[in-house]
Amino acid sequence: MVRFGILGFGLHAAKRLMPGFLRAKNSRVAAISRRELGTAENSARSYGIPFAFGSAAELCRCPEVDAVFVASPNACHLGDVLLALECGKPVLCEKPMGINAQQCKEMLEAAHKVGLSLGVAHVFRFAESVIRMRERLRLGQIGKPILARCEFSYNGMQHPRQWINDPVLAGGGPIADVGVHCIDVLRFVLCDEVEGVHACAVFDPSRGMESTAALALQFRQGTLAVVTVSKLVAYRTPLEFVGDAATLRAEDGLSVDRPVRLELLHDGAVESEQITNELAYARQVDAFAAAVEGKTEFAVPAEEGWRNQLVLDAAYRSLKTGKNEGIPSLCRA
């Protein structure tokens, strides 16, 4: 059993991570940290967690912690990941991995230097709906993928995680917050890499960050994809892949709260199957636990977070230039 310490135990940890750990087979939470010790102790008591700390350093040095799950605000990821690695702990870091690609590179190099696992919590790679879509495309069920679209929208202006509306802590609006999920899912399902992005957005002048955006992605093998994100509307996660032979779609493709209906449309007929993503968070932590134990490589290593961040960086450059921006190759030099 791998004992995790959750660094930055906030709403996401309570709502998503803890239910996942409760369903996990080889992972449990041994410790949490929050900015205030009293708040951390209250949370720990609520979930029956043995140790509570008021600082990241104390959690990372705790001998009862085998691996650290970094769930702090985006701007804190770099410092928190480096601290955990310095303390000899493997790290699973929430998405987006950093504020920019340079931060991701620094984390990755630090992990390689000390020989510890560093993964990124792109949970939808463990979602059954996404896995099934990837399998269906690899089987050629839609033919050659021509178009793809992924939307992730939610009402974020009054969201309890208010740090996501702080440009310093969040590093961006919904492009960074949930657009990164869309980018990662498209890359994963298509088994392809983005080579260019053209972005446009509506900005919230009071916060200095985008509130709604659309990204046009060009993939190396020719697929054109559209990512749309907003924090001004109700929760929506439609996902669709259009090929020259058929279309594969799901109206709630990235939902973990209710069943997902996959539809394959071809020759005027519709084939459907119902899938649940309820085990995605449990699968994610158990997969990282297996990597910590040396049984297998984690499916979403730090390189994947870095690749996604390169696309995010290009999208934000495109918002400034109004042009299509290319994606540079990974380079550790």
For 27-84, how does the pLDDT look when each residue is reduced to its tens digit (9 = 90+)?
Answer: 999 999 999 999 999 999 999 999 999 999 999 999 999 999 999 999 999 999 999 9
Q: Give the span between the Cα atoms of 4 and 67, in whole angstroms.
A: 5
314 and 214 within one domain: yes
Q: What is the pLDDT of residue 191?
A: 98
CATH assignment of the domain containing 221: 3.30.360.10
Mean pLDDT of 320-325: 97
For the chain, the residue count is 333
Percent of the chain whose pLDDT exceeds 70: 99
Q: Is the dihedral of CA 215, 220, 222, 223 positive or negative?
A: negative
303 in any annotated domain: no
180 and 112 within one domain: no
- Indicate if the pLDDT at residue 332 is higher than 70: no
- Indicate if the pLDDT at residue 333 is higher than 50: no
Mean pLDDT of 198-205: 95
248 and 134 within one domain: yes
Residue 330 DSSP label: P
CATH assignment of the domain containing 48: 3.40.50.720
Mean pLDDT of 247-269: 96
Q: What is the pLDDT of residue 206?
A: 83
Neighbours of 177 (CB within 10 A): 24
Q: What is the pLDDT of residue 205?
A: 86
271 and 167 within one domain: yes
Contact (Cβ atoms closer than 8 angstroms) between residue 190 and residue 224: no
318 and 173 within one domain: yes
332 in any annotated domain: no
36 and 64 within one domain: yes
The residue among 181, 172, 7, 183 whose CA lies nearest residue 99 is: 172
Q: Please name the helix (run of DSSP H) or strand (run of DSSP E) that holds residue 131, with its range, or none.
A: helix 128-138
Which tokens sit at 142?
């839609």
112 in any annotated domain: yes
Q: Is residue 324 classed as helix, strand or coil in its secondary structure?
A: coil
Mean pLDDT of 255-267: 96
64 in any annotated domain: yes
289 and 219 within one domain: no
Q: What is the pLDDT of residue 331?
A: 62
101 and 42 within one domain: yes
333 in any annotated domain: no
134 and 118 within one domain: no
286 and 260 within one domain: no
Q: What is the pLDDT of residue 160?
A: 72
83 and 14 within one domain: yes
- Indicate if the pLDDT at residue 88 is higher than 70: yes
257 in any annotated domain: yes
Number of independent structural domains in the chain: 2
Residue by residue, what is the 3-state secondary structure of 217-283? Answer: EEECCCCEEEEEEECEEEEEECEEEEECCCEEEECECCCCCCCEEEEEEECCEEEEEEECCCCHHHH
304 in any annotated domain: no
For 140-193, how does the pLDDT look when each residue is reduced to its tens digit (9 = 90+)?
Answer: 999 999 999 999 999 987 767 778 889 999 999 999 999 999 999 999 999 999
Range(s) of the domain holding residue 88: 2-123+282-298
Q: Can you tell me which residue has the tokens 């899938």?
A: 275
- Indicate if the pLDDT at residue 25 is higher than 90: yes
224 and 113 within one domain: no
